[in-house]
């Protein structure tokens, strides 16, 4: 087993089990104690595992406890978000019924949309205005406006969306992890994300790579429930590549 493959395997084992000993890794990898300890030290320096006495533990993820305002997020990772949005726009076909979630990455998708023959439903007030300006047929559900993110939430929103069946959909997320899935900090918004994703044939989560190291309070879908569109990942994110449902796009 070559060094790069061995490091990837160790990271995957630690993330899966939470904690693993040096002897366990020696047995799993058929490697010497010195090799395993050297690999753990390298992974610890890269921030991929936490080296402890006699083994390693999973790195505790960064927690997102609350939504930032739209204005606060519109300057973060914008080159990556624009590239992700531009790629996602190419996935929309003329006869699609499209769901678009709120957020700044999905806003970049809306700005990149050229397909005006599809029908769009969004729970985001800013997105609806942009879609209308492009001449797109645009639907809004009922519900209460959440001031922070300017999206519609609540029982009325969920009940409206429950009646629809989308051919393709796009969601933002506050965090994404192989174990915890896609997460967001607020119950009412999580409920809208969950029901809309469940009612979509081709679901995509648009997620710049900074979100891959974060977790928020509520899971709205498992990681394998959607295809992830993200920017080009570094070597430290090899475990996400191995999941098989991640599309990497080049920054523009």
Average pLDDT per consecutive 10 residues, the chain (252 residues; last block may be shorter): 84 82 91 93 85 82 65 69 97 98 97 98 98 98 94 97 98 91 94 98 95 89 98 78 93 75
Domain assignments of the chain as residue spans, ordered by start: 3-60, 63-249
- Start-to-end CA distance of the chain, whole Å, equals 36
Cα dist. 190→70, 152, 183 in Å?
17, 12, 8
Predicted local confidence at residue 75, as pLDDT: 54
**Could you tell me which residues come within 8 angstroms of residue 89 by beta carbon, excluding any fewer than 6 positions away?**
109, 112, 113, 114, 115
- 63-249: CATH topology is Rossmann fold (3.40.50)
pTM, full prediction: 0.77
Query: Residue 177's closest CA among 81, 88, 60?
Result: 60
Q: Provide the β-strand partners of residue 203.
A: 169
Q: Reduced to 3 states, what is the DSSP secondary structure of residue 136?
A: coil
Query: Residue 153's closest CA among 107, 220, 205?
Result: 220
Predicted local confidence at residue 49, as pLDDT: 83
* CA atoms of 119 and 95, how far apart (whole Å): 7
- CATH number assigned to the domain with residue range 3-60, chosen from the 4 options 1.10.10.10, 3.40.190.10, 1.10.150.120, 1.25.40.10: 1.10.10.10
* CA atoms of 188 and 153, how far apart (whole Å): 6
């Amino acid at each position: 087993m070559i060094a790069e493959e061995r490091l990837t395997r160790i990271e995957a084992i630690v993330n899966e089990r939470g904690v693993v000993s040096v002897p366990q890794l020696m047995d799993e990898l058929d490697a010497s104690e010195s090799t395993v300890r050297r690999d753990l030290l390298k992974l610890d320096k890269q921030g991929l595992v936490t080296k402890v006495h006699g083994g390693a533990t999973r790195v505790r993820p960064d927690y997102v406890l609350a939504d930032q305002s739209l204005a606060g997020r519109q300057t973060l990772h914008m080159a990556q978000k624009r590239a992700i949005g531009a790629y996602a726009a190419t996935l929309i076909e003329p006869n699609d019924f499209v769901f678009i979630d709120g957020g700044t990455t999905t806003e970049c998708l809306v700005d990149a949309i050229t397909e005006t023959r599809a029908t769009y439903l969004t729970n985001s007030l800013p997105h609806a205005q942009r879609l209308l300006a492009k001449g797109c047929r645009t639907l809004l559900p009922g519900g209460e406006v959440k001031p922070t993110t300017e999206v519609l939430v609540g029982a009325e929103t969920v009940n409206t969306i429950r009646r629809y069946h989308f051919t393709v959909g796009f969601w933002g997320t506050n965090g994404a992890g192989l174990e915890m899935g896609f997460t967001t900090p607020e119950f009412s918004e999580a409920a809208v994300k969950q029901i809309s994703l469940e009612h979509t044939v081709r679901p995509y989560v648009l997620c710049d790579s900074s979100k891959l190291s974060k977790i928020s309070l509520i899971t709205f879908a498992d990681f394998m429930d959607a295809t992830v569109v993200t920017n080009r990942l570094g070597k430290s994110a090899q475990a996400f590549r191995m999941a098989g449902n991640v599309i990497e796009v080049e920054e523009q």
